[in-house]
Structure 1
Amino acid sequence: MSTSTKSDPTIFIIFGGTGDLTSRKIAPALYNLFLDGWLPNQFSIIGTGRTQLSDEQFRENLFKDISQFSRSGKVAKEKWDVFSKSIFYQVSDIKDFETYKEFGKRVEKHNTEWKTKANVIYYLAVSPNFFPIIASNISKAKLADDPKKVRIVIEKPFGHDLETAKELNKLLSSIFDECQIYRIDHYLGKETVQNIMAFRFANSIMEPLWNRNYIEHVQISVTEQLGVEERGDYYDGAGAMRDMIQNHLLQLLCHVAMEPPVSFSADEVRDRKVDVLKAMRKFGPEDVRLSAVRGQYGSGWMKGKEVPGYRDEPKVDPDSNTETFAAIKFFIDNWRWQGVPFYLRTGKRMHQSSSVITIQFKDVPHLIFPTEASESWQQNRLIISIQPEMSIRLQVQAKRPGLDMVLNAVDMVFDYKGTYASQAPEAYETLILDTMLGDQTLFMRGDQVEAAWELVMPILSTWQNKKSLNFPNYSADSWGPESAEALIARDGFNWFTLPVQGNKK
């Protein structure tokens, strides 16, 4: 997590420089870091791709992208004139070893001009099947020999299953030290996610309550109104479990459930997250039937527009068994959380786009108020909204104004927009800056990735080996299949939804 220190001179090499991720996230993030004064005085951004472009053409493309997708709005010409001088483009074939020789020459050229040895960051914004090729060629060209100066950023998905994740970890660790590998999960860069640790460990009133004695259950819900759009070919081989739960939602769970670290060092924080994953109860075949629900959306109407079912989306198998919805009940078998269920839910074509963590506290042991005073009684809840609204709400009971003793739930709210005038940085800004500073606190370690895969593999294997006979089983603009409601209702609970404004992801 960033401090006020600028990084050393940095060369930022983006594999997939002409791709969608660069256009929408990486380039706007770098520009905003420049505007806010976080980039070093000496920096270079080198985009790579097979498209034939000159430096100037590449700059013009990024100008349009940043103007469209940056939180700071349209690019100011005077700022762009300064920023764009450090942007370059190299036509490259990532399978061709000669490409990497050119990278080496560019790095040496900058080092000579700057009269110092710069940090070099290789950002792999490409399809996962290219990760091993790029890493191997970087090694072959001897471009990763200095562990203090060279870093590699790997986007998700990190592996397709436990076996491929282990293979990729083994390859990367044969080339790079662990301190050089930045496995990026953009959810961990979101302001509200970072605030979970601040809320828990910077406030003495929370820690005594943060355990099985006071917390009844926890819900983590990440839902999207969007369908698979043009990602059908990727998504049909992934599904909701691989795309969301194995990484994003389990990371959120780790933030909520981790033990207090003894310091804020990267490895200490990540050690505590691994402890959570290792303590989570493993699934057997019967557990999958009782505690895991899958779904696939059918056709329906969204915002007055008819939308197709998943199997009718472009590049999707018409007989697909891929889940677009998953709801899982997990348990953490340790002293703090024994017996407390953690319910995780994610899905596409849902009624609302939101990411919300809800912690429900146990009811009061004895109710002293008369029945008519507490007709709208509600247990205390802590609601952490990550998107589209960024807020933390503590719901408590209070007396309604008037001569009668009538209670109702009220919210004690901290929200970013109402508290801070400045705009919160995008997640990629935080994570890219931390990469430049060499801070791995918000990045997944190799053993953490493997522990997450190990946890979900029994569910994935069961679902893959048994075709669902009721797909599609929920319509667009709904809250998912009925079996998801039954999953949580069996325990006497229901899924929470938070009224929020807008549905921007």
Structure 2
Amino acid sequence: MASPALDVTGDAFTPLRRADDRRLLRIAGPAALVIFGVTGDLAQRKLLPAVYDLANRGLLSPAFSLVGFGRREWSADRFAAFVEQAVRRGARTPFRQQVWDQLAAGFRFVSGAFDDPAAYQQLDATLRELTRVRGTRGNAAFYLSIPPRHFSDVCDHLARQGLAGHDDRSWRRVVIEKPFGHDLRSAQALNAVVERVFAPDDIFRIDHYLGKETVQNILAFRFANAIFEPLWNANHIDHVQITMAEDIGIGGRAGYYDGIGAARDVIQNHLLQLLALTAMEEPTSFSPRALRSEKIKVLGALGLPADLEAHTARGQYLGGWQGGRLVHGYLDEEGTAPDSTTETYAAFRVDVHTRRWAGVPFYLRAGKRLGRRVTEIALVFREIPQQLFTPGQTAAMGPNALVIRVQPEEGITLRFGSKVPDTNMTVRDVNMDFVYGHSFAEASPEAYERLILDMLLGDPPLFPRHEEVELGWRVLDPIERLWAEHGRPEGYRPGTWGPASADTMLARDGRRWRRP
């Protein structure tokens, strides 16, 4: 079914509404979105295009307003030109002049530093003017697309100016991006900074992976189908592999990445959240409280192996040929310290100490300059006793596997054995595939579209709370301490699947990594 068209014949655009249009309850009400760090890379590539795409799909109120906050001395018109450039470059929906004109009428820009009291006075006046002129009703969300070291300044000034408080007629929310600290102690300090100004239900921690359609489909796949849930346990599953692989290096991100590394960058947040959704019990509902409760139970049940050194691996990509071109090693990347011990590949085993998953190891890995770009969750089933078939007949068959592909080709693959069509009884692996792009006419929205809309609606199921963040650091901190004592990471060639120690890690358990 085609998406409802937009009525752009009047002064404001609104969705053409039908009685059966299920989007009606998902249209955000009047509000202002204030983006701190609006000239940064994330805002240009993701946030500003996502705002336009939401407007183009009729999911924002005609009163929606966008306020940029930055050091540049820009007028509203200059800011609008900057936003338009980002939208034309990054939006996934067509550019419509009438939609743009309505959206741009609500653009404002506040000039100032993050610690400048006068700038927050100007921001207060701007939000009051938008309430009066645009009808935003005093609702405002503050998106901190800035380094965490500035959170305290921004939150304190918002509080002093009275911008963080709200009443029964309006709301104020804050959105923060990862990293949520660099260890447990810093995460707790960061949470304390934000929570002394905003109530827990008004804090939205962005994990953009949770906005991806396939990640949300884990819940539908598990709990809406009678086929798979009976198999989703230790009786049938041998182990689980969660992979986030990139075929690129760090690019120009050395200033951020060096000293952070693969484990802190993506495993502590993205991959542990994927694990929680995979391993959780069925919630009583899809309410934020019910979903959060089940995720916290999983994260609280995680345990590391006794021999931690044997069940972790880290590496650092070397220079060499990849994809027909010569690429730099990590230590040769611009901005990287020449003696850096930051890992660009990280892998470790973690166990979920619940009845459902007793004895089933979860292997997590993430890395750069690997064989291809892919994020997936692979549930590898136990092998059956081969009493009927000879080893030769099943030599080309591996264990059955159910693979949930998060990116780039979103979908689900079921791998199982099938007889080869000849006169011999030979069995080999075949795949049964579901691909989003083939099965649905609707294009999947970008993750930031879903997350920004949920935040404006005050719907937080996809946003991790501080308990989840802190439980993730309780898992990772012992691994980081171990690695800090062991000098340099192991080198690995670009285009491979990481250091040899990662293969050895699984081989000790009698298993091997998938090669996506």
Aligned twin of 1:421: 441
> Deviation of residue 377 (structure 1)?
2.5
* C-alpha distance after superposition, 1:418-449 (max 9, x if no partner): 10122110000010000011111000101110
| Paired AA for residue 197 in structure 1 | L
Q: Distance in 2 between matches of 1:394 and 1:36?
A: 34
> What is aligned with 2:12?
none
The answer for the alignment partner of 1:140 in structure 2 is 160
Matched, 1:194 2:212: no
Q: Which residues in structure 2 correspond to 1:33-432 (within 5 Å)? A: 33-72=54-93, 75-114=95-134, 117-146=137-166, 149-282=171-304, 287-365=307-385, 367-370=387-390, 373-432=393-452
8 Å contact kept, 1:283–1:455? no
> Equivalents in 1 of 2:501, 2:390: separation in Å?
37
Which secondary structure does the structure 1 equivalent of 2:186 belong to?
helix
Q: Deviations over 1:156-180 (max 9, x none)?
A: 0011211111011112222111100
- After superposition, residues 459-498 of structure 1 pair within 5 angstroms as 459-468=479-488, 471=489, 473-498=491-516
Report deviation, 1:143. 1.0
TM-superposition CA deviations, 1:30-71 (whole Å, max 9, x none): 000011110012110011111222211221122121111222
Secondary structure of residue in 1 paired with 2:416: strand
Q: In 1, distance between residues paired with 2:485 and 2:500?
A: 23
Q: Judge conservation of contact 1:283–1:458 (CA < 8 Å) in 2.
A: no
Contact 2:35 2:142 in 1 (8 A): yes
In 2, distance between residues paired with 1:106 and 1:375? Answer: 70
- Identity among equivalent pairs (%): 41
- TM (normalized to structure 1)? 0.94
Kept in 1: contact 2:184–2:477 (CA 8 A):
yes
Structure-2 separation of matches of 1:150 and 1:6: 18
Structure 2 gaps of 5+ residues are: 1-22
Bigger Cα displacement from structure 2, 299-308 vs 451-460: 299-308
Tell me: higher relative CO, structure 1 or 2? Use CA pairs within 8 A at least 6 residues apart. Answer: 1
Cα contact 2:367–2:498 (8 A) shared by 1: yes
**Is 1:8 aligned to 2:26, yes or no?**
no
For the residues of structure 1 that align with 2:304 and 2:397, how far apart are their CA atoms? Answer: 36
State the 1:155 CA deviation: 0.3
Amino acid aligned to 1:199: F
Q: What are the superposed Cα offsets for residues 100-136 of structure 1, whole Å, 9 maximum, x if unpaired?
A: 1222112222222355624210000111111111111
Separation in 2 of the partners of 1:221 and 1:150?
Answer: 37
Alpha carbons of structure 1 residues 166 and 459: separation in structure 2 relative to 1, 3 Å: same
Q: CA deviation at 1:467?
A: 1.4
Distance 1:47 1:350 in 2: 37
Deviation at 1:283, TM superposition (A): 5.8
> What is the letter of the counterpart of residue 433 of structure 1?
L
Residues 67 and 109 in structure 2, CA contact (< 8 A), matched pair in contact too: yes
Alpha-carbon shift at residue 364 of structure 1 (Å): 2.1
Distance across 1 between alignment mates of 2:61 and 2:97: 20
Question: Counterpart of 2:437 in structure 1: which amino acid?
Answer: K
C-alpha separation between the residues in 2 aligned to 1:52 and 1:12? 20
Residue 14 (structure 2) aligns with: none
Quote the Cα distance in structure 2 between the aligned partners of 1:123 and 1:115.
20
1:338 Cα offset (Å)? 1.1
CA distance in 2, matches of 1:296, 1:137: 41
- Measured in 2, the distance between the counterparts of 1:423 and 1:291 equals 40
* Residue in 1 that maps onto 2:17: none
Alignment match of 1:434 (pick from 411, 433, 454):
454
Measured after TM superposition, the shift of residue 402 of structure 1 is: 4.6
Does the 8 Å CA contact 2:184/2:473 hold for their aligned counterparts?
yes
Task: Name structure 1 gaps, 5 residues minimum.
Answer: 499-505
Hey, what's the Cα distance between the residues in 1 that align with 2:375 and 2:313? 19
**Residues of 1 paired with 2:505 and 2:242: CA distance?**
14
CA contact (8 A) 2:309 2:482 kept: no
Number of aligned residue pairs: give it.
Answer: 492
Matched with 2:472 is: 452
Give the superposition deviation at 1:189.
Answer: 0.5
